[in-house]
């Protein structure tokens, strides 16, 4: 990335010369802030800019990125205590840090140097960032020194569960309890931790400017601080705005260079395999049975330090397939190994990152994505010349189809990998393309996908206009229509002989507009009935064997193997399948609505105040609106430091506004839109974005939570790229 070999970027001003003149006394980091505290960084070269980005994130997000560094190393229990041991054990067994080191060593020299520059910036800013963040004092954590491969480790630990390999454990249990024919029974077309993201692209024929628009909102576990950082990176080679992952250089998932923009959703591809391993110990050696007989496996013991507790020893075993993530104690008996592309290829895809920053056209983005590895994404891109791109990017191995479904025998050669899917699927954009984790473009590569409701709803809303503006499309982000409610409501409609209270409740739900609005009492009533249905199904004797599944696995895998959760997200299918003849589903629904009705005196109409959930008939208490029970509950490494009541939310897991709770367990929402964006290719300055909290990760900072009210209302802030409208901070190093 030599700035002398490329023309200066048209959005870049002449500060670069001044920066280069002063390099003898250290790099001048030019940091600007807009009204929302969003960092705008510029420097004299791409490598100096990487240093600036690293230093800035260390100052703004020191606690967040240090937690993530320790997560990638499996060392969080040393300051978070025993509750963090399961993750640390998994990170060590999966060999995340070692894989990151190997992937870094395989980078080309220029990309490696660029990543090193970023790490140098992080190390330069960590001490200052730690002084600002109260969490360090609260835990006694001292910021450590980042290694060149640390950003790759963060990337791996963030995405290692994205392909949902634990779902294969669940399918094994379903086959064991219900038989092979039921293996897909609980596919809710979307594993518990991955679906929810939306994205759409409009060609110039569908916009008021005649230039394309790209918009969407990634949905993930909502974390505080947020998982994406708004940033503006400028040097003579490029000028890019986008959403960066704190601790990782560049802008990977969502960016706008001024002439081309791109965005992603999870493709829901299956590219990680689990193998059942047979192990034996021969003296100090461990062997594993493979297709060619018994072969040596590597084995060593690591120690997890635990704050306030005794150290925990973990044996780390790796066979020819991959590291053991389940079982194999003492290197004897059986275990389950994980095979994942970055470990096999020693490539996490970081070569794509600087190429994306330099992109000027859709063709440039397309070439950059040929270098992409992890995770596998559906990508949309558009440029100012009208170019459009809709493709899958990443590394998916070629192997037996059963590998995608189950835990495979390690000793059977039929289940080995033999190459990579090439080329990956792509499609032409005919005016509009929508991606929402649904079956479609990536279907040949996966098993479970999100239900089609969000994608169909977005397309329906887009069909409502022939000429969209950037501001107009923001309304789609917050649509709350719940199409998936139909299966339960249809069963309710068919019930007869209900008690008067239950009949009134049913009639009210059948008149409901199916919108999960925060101020809707009907949404609360529907959620209450749905929760009772989920609980009733989970308690049925026919599923008793699956109810015990969760106790056999680490809590890391609980979202995939917990029966109530699996039913909650597969409810449509469970209510309509013929594979469970022993369950009287209308009877379960009848019991649920009668149970809710006995606790509530439900009027036939929707008054200003109705009796409260859990209150006896005639108490006159007010029924909570959906937003009173459907509250935001972001993940925090130190939740004890927060003493706030989180706000209520609209939406539900199958709404476009996919704020996901777990029916039958809780109405609180831990997943939702971790950013919203609209990229305008007519004028980048007309683009819009927002994150759930703010630009700063420092509690008490003016920009720690200043975007939260906007995010709750569905409002976005303008993308500012005019340096004259920014406030400069100067750091001479």
Query: What is the DSSP secondary-structure string of 535-549?
Result: HHHHT-GGGHHHHTG
CATH number given to 273-339: 2.30.120.10
Nearest to 516, CA basis, from 439, 609, 625, 594: 625
As a whole number of angstroms, the distance between CA 633 and CA 224 comes to 9
Backbone torsions φ then ψ of 151, nearest 5 degrees = -60, -35
Residue by residue, what is the 3-state secondary structure of 644-711?
A: CCCCECCCCCCCCCCCEEECCCEEEEEEEECCEEEEECCCHHHCEEECCCCCCCCCCCCCCCCCHHHH
User: Using one digit for the tens of pLDDT, what is the confidence trace for 56-76?
Assistant: 999 999 999 999 999 999 999
The tokens for 530 are: 């749905």
Q: Between 585-599 and 500-511, two packed helices, what is the crossing angle to 10 degrees?
A: 100
The residues that bridge with 24 in the sheet, in sequence order, are none
Q: What is the pLDDT of residues 505-562, one digit of tens each?
A: 999 999 999 999 999 999 999 999 999 999 999 999 999 999 988 888 999 999 999 9
**CA count, 13 A, side-chain hemisphere, 384:** 10
- Mean pLDDT calculated for residue range 386-414: 97
- Residues 6 or more apart whose CB falls under 8 angstroms from that of 167 comprise 191, 447, 448, 560
| Chain centroid offset of residue 600 CA | 37
Average pLDDT for 179-206:
78
Average pLDDT, the chain: 91
C-alpha 280/C-alpha 464 separation (Å) is 64
pLDDT digits (tens, 9 = 90+) for 646-669: 999 999 999 999 999 999 999 999
- Regarding predicted confidence, which is higher, 223 or 3? 223
**How far is Cα 190 from Cα 193, in angstroms, rounded to an integer?**
8
* 156 token code pair: 């791996």
pLDDT at 513: 97
Judged against a pLDDT cut of 90, whether residue 24 lies above it is answered with no
Half-sphere exposure of 138 (CA within 13 A, CB side): 14
Residues of the chain with pLDDT > 70, as a percent, come to 91
Tell me how far apart the terminal alpha carbons of the chain are, to the nearest angstrom.
Answer: 22
CA distances from 528 to 293, 393, 502, 589, 623 (A): 55, 40, 13, 12, 11
Q: What residues have CB less than 8 Å from 140, skipping those under 6 apart?
A: 79
Whether the pLDDT of residue 21 is over 60: the answer is: no
d(CA 374, CA 387): 25
Give the tokens for residue 143. 């910021």
619 pLDDT above the threshold of 50: no
Determine contact, residues 646/683, Cβ cutoff 8 Å: no
State residue 27's pLDDT score: 67
Q: How many CB atoms lie within 10 A of CB 152?
A: 28
The pLDDT value recorded for residue 602 is: 58
Average pLDDT for residues 421-433, to the nearest whole number?
A: 96
Contact 323, 343 (CB under 8 A): yes
pLDDT of residue 311: 98
Domain layout of the chain by residue ranges: 3-163, 273-339
664, 420, 662, 643: which is closest to 539 by C-alpha? Answer: 664
pLDDT band at 609 (very low <50, low <70, confident <90, very high): very low
Rounded CA gap, 41 and 25, in Å?
19
Handedness of CA 108, 110, 112, 114 (dihedral sign): negative
Whole-number pLDDT of residue 640: 67
**Minimal CA–CA distance to 91: which of 318, 316, 283?**
316
Dihedral Cα 322, 323, 328, 331, nearest 10 deg: 90
- The dihedral of CA 227, 230, 232, 237: what is its sign? positive
Phi/psi at 639 (5° precision): -60, -20
Cβ atoms within 10 Å of 110's Cβ, excluding its own: 14
Judged by average pLDDT, the poorest of 331-345, 430-444, 601-615, 675-689 is 601-615
Residue 643 pLDDT exceeds 90: no
Nearest to 342 by CA among 165, 101, 99: 99
At residue 148, φ and ψ (nearest 5 deg) are -55, -30
**Average pLDDT rounded to a whole number, residues 206-233:** 96
- pLDDT-wise least confident of 381-385, 442-446, 600-604: 600-604
Lowest mean pLDDT among 110-119, 313-322, 575-584, 703-712: 575-584
> What does DSSP assign to residue 81?
-
Q: Say what the pLDDT of residue 20 is.
A: 33
DSSP result, 194-227: T---EEEEE-GGGBSSSS-EEEEE-EEE-BSS-S
| Of 263, 205, 676, 268, nearest in space to 432 by CA | 205
Phi, psi of 551 (to 5 degrees): -70, -15
The answer to whether 463 touches 483, Cβ cutoff 8 Å, is no
Q: What is the pLDDT of residue 420?
A: 97
Topology classification of domain 3-163: Penicillin Amidohydrolase; domain 1 (1.10.439)
pLDDT at 446: 93
pLDDT for the residue numbered 152: 98
* 642 band by pLDDT with thresholds 50, 70 and 90: low
Q: What is the mean pLDDT of residues 569-578?
A: 90
Q: With the C-alpha atoms ordered 260, 263, 269, 274, is the resulting torsion angle positive or negative?
A: positive
Q: Average pLDDT for residues 184-193, to the nearest whole number?
A: 60
| Mean pLDDT computed over 434-461 | 94
**DSSP code per residue over 389-417:** EEEEES--B---GGGGTSPEETT-GGGS-
In the prediction, which pLDDT does 12 show? 39
């Amino acid at each position: 990335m030599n700035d002398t070999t490329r023309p200066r970027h048209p959005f870049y001003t002449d500060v670069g010369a001044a920066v280069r003149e002063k390099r003898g006394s250290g790099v001048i980091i030019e940091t600007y802030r807009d009204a929302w505290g969003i960092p705008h960084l510029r420097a004299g070269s791409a490598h100096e800019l990487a240093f600036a980005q690293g230093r800035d994130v260390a100052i703004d997000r020191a606690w967040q990125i240090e937690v993530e560094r320790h997560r990638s190393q499996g060392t969080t229990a040393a300051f978070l205590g025993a509750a963090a041991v399961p993750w640390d054990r998994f990170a060590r067994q999966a060999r995340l840090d070692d894989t990151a080191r190997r992937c870094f060593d395989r980078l080309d020299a220029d990309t490696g140097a660029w990543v090193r520059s970023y790490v140098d910036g992080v190390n330069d800013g960590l001490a200052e960032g730690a002084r600002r963040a109260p969490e360090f004092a609260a835990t006694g954590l001292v910021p450590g020194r980042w290694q060149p491969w640390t950003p790759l480790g963060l990337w791996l630990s963030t995405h290692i569960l994205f392909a949902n390999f634990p779902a294969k454990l669940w399918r094994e249990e379903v086959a064991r309890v219900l038989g092979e024919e039921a293996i897909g029974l609980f596919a809710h077309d979307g594993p518990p931790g991955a679906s929810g993201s939306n994205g759409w692209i409009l060609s110039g024929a569908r916009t008021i400017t005649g230039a394309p628009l790209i918009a969407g909102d990634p949905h993930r576990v909502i974390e505080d601080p947020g998982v994406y950082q708004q940033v503006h990176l400028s040097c003579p080679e490029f000028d890019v705005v986008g959403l960066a992952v704190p601790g990782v250089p560049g802008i990977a998932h969502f960016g706008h260079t001024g002439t081309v923009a791109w965005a992603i959703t999870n493709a829901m591809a299956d590219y990680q395999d689990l193998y059942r391993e047979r192990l034996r110990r021969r003296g100090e050696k461990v062997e594993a049975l493979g297709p060619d007989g018994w072969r040596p496996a590597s084995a060593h013991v690591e120690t997890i330090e635990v704050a306030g507790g005794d150290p925990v020893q973990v044996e780390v075993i790796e066979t020819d397939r991959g590291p053991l993530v389940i079982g194999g104690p003492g290197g004897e008996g059986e275990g389950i190994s994980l095979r994942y592309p970055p470990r096999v290829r020693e490539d996490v895809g970081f070569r794509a990152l600087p190429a994306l920053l330099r992109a000027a056209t859709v063709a440039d983005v397309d070439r950059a994505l040929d270098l992409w590895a992890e995770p596998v994404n559906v990508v949309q891109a558009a440029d100012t010349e009208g170019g459009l791109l809709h493709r899958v990017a990443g590394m998916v191995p070629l192997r037996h189809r059963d590998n995608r479904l189950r835990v495979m025998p390690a000793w059977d050669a039929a289940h080995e990998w033999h190459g990579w899917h090439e080329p990956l699927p792509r499609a032409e954009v005919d005016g509009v393309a929508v991606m929402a984790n649904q079956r479609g473009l990536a279907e040949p590569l996966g098993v479970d996908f999100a239900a089609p409701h969000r994608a169909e709803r977005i397309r329906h809303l887009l069909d409502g206009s022939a000429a969209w503006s950037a501001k107009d499309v923001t309304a789609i982000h917050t649509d709350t229509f719940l199409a998936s409610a139909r299966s339960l409501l249809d069963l309710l409609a068919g019930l007869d002989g209900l008690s008067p209270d239950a009949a009134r409740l049913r009639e009210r739900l059948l008149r409901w507009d199916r919108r999960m609005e925060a101020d809707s009492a009907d949404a609360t009533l529907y959620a209450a009935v749905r929760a009772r249905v989920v609980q009733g199904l989970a308690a049925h004797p026919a599923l008793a064997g699956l109810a015990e599944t969760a106790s056999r696995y680490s809590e890391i895998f609980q979202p995939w193997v917990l029966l109530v959760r699996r039913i909650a997200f597969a409810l449509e299918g469970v209510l309509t399948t013929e594979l469970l003849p022993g369950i009287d589903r209308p009877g379960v629904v009848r019991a649920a609505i009668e149970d809710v009705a006995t606790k509530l005196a439900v009027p036939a109409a929707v008054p200003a105040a109705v009796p409260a959930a859990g209150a006896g008939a005639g108490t006159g208490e007010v029924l909570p609106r959906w937003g009173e029970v459907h509250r935001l509950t972001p993940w925090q490494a130190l939740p004890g430091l927060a003493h706030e009541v989180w706000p209520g939310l609209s939406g539900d897991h199958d709404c476009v506004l996919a704020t996901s709770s777990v029916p039958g367990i809780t109405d609180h929402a831990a997943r939702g839109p971790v950013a919203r964006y609209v990229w305008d290719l007519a004028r980048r300055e007309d683009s819009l974005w927002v994150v759930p909290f703010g630009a700063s990760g420092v509690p008490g900072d003016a920009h720690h939570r200043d975007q939260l009210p906007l995010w709750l209302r569905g409002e976005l802030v303008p993308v500012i790229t005019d340096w004259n409208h920014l406030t400069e901070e100067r750091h001479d190093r």
